[in-house]
Amino acid sequence: MSHAAPDTPVRDFRAFNRFYTNLIGALDYSRHTYVPYTLTESRVLYELAHSPRTDAADLRAELTLDAGYLSRLLGKFEKAGLVERAPSARDPRRQSITLTARGREAAALLDERSDESVGSLLSTVAPGERTRLAAAMRTVRQILEDSRAGKGARAPEVVLREPGPGDLGWIVQRNAALYAAEYGFNIDYEGLVARIVADFAEDHDPYLERVWIAELDGRPVGSVMCVRDEAPGTARLRLLLVEPDARGYGIGDQLVGACVEFARGVGYREMALWTNDILGAARTIYQRHGFVLVDEKPHRSFGVDLLGQDWQLHLGSAS
């Protein structure tokens, strides 16, 4: 039985994988970087150390791990005194995973070893080449992240457009339903969203304020708003939303990018937003676009205990 030879990109990709995994010792579990943990165990400890309020479901989705395998791994960690498991405060149906003091020490040691290993590797690269190497790695990562949009036989068509009749009501309904399902928010949140949307519908400056609806293959799957803030020269990003079945296609990134580009284009100097720490995916998008965390305070709203966060982005001088 004969097989067609793989094309050049496939051969190059596989060759690079073999080269890189050998270079970093990913196949050799005796390497001091990971001992006494496997590469997967080390990665789980890293995620827990950098996201201390991680739920098991979030961890499984982030690392695309089998649920049974992750459960066994966490059980091993719990037995070793590295983690504690408890019902999630935001959703008792979920399991919250927290590192113990011993777990934090283990994660810190692995971080230190990884830094030393990468530093040793980079020391063999000429100083003038390190910037080029870092840029090439960012390019590889960005291309592969963008290619996730092509999960099916073709890349889905994502369109950002202005809202039409019924779209503002859709924003209220979907925010209320999704935040209730995913975070246990009560009807108070629906009231807040309804007021924000009503204020925009009744009185907004079309030159300085705007709403975007994201469509995926012709159906609405996301939204975001850019409105004037009370602070002079400041725009406020509000109500970023992406439907669960449309996540992973870069829609949130496109919506935030459109909002930032619009605000900069009409002359705002700053852009602000308020969010809560449980919205990890959204925070990652904000950071990617240059937003900086400037303040955070605990509060109880929408029936749950939350950590509110204020983020800000400098847009440059007004034109």
**Which tens digits make up the pLDDT trace of 166-218?**
999 999 999 999 999 889 999 999 999 999 999 999 999 999 999 999 998 78
If asked whether residues 71 and 205 sit together in one domain, one would say: no
**Which tens digits make up the pLDDT trace of 29-70?**
555 555 678 888 888 888 888 765 577 777 887 788 888 888
If asked whether residues 58 and 105 sit together in one domain, one would say: yes
Give the strand order in the sheet containing 304-314.
Answer: 158-161, 210-216, 219-228, 234-242, 270-276, 304-314, 292-301
- pLDDT number for residue 30: 54
- pLDDT number for residue 153: 42
Query: Which CATH number does the domain housing residue 16 bear?
Result: 1.10.10.10
pTM of the model: 0.53
Inside any domain, residue 2: no
Inside any domain, residue 177: yes
Query: Which CATH number does the domain housing residue 309 bear?
Result: 3.40.630.30
Helices and strands (H, E) in the chain, number of each type: 10, 9
CB 257 within 8 A of CB 289: yes
If asked whether residues 179 and 310 sit together in one domain, one would say: yes
Inside any domain, residue 1: no
For residue 85, the one-letter residue type is: R
- pLDDT number for residue 319: 40
Inside any domain, residue 246: yes
Inside any domain, residue 148: no
Q: Is pLDDT at 275 greater than 70 in this prediction?
A: yes
DSSP alpha helix (H) spans, 123-225: 127-146, 167-183, 187-202
- pLDDT-derived band at 317 (thresholds 50, 70, 90) equals low
Q: Which two tokens stand for residue 245?
A: 């079945």
Inside any domain, residue 91: yes
If asked whether residues 110 and 173 sit together in one domain, one would say: no
If asked whether residues 119 and 162 sit together in one domain, one would say: no
**Which tens digits make up the pLDDT trace of 127-148?**
767 777 877 777 777 677 766 6
Inside any domain, residue 130: no
Domain span including residue 101: 8-124
**Count of domains forming the chain:** 2
Inside any domain, residue 214: yes
Q: 291: Cβ–Cβ under 8 A, 6 or more apart, which residues?
A: 271, 273, 311, 312, 313
Q: Is pLDDT at 297 greater than 90 in this prediction?
A: yes
Give the mean pLDDT of the chain: 84
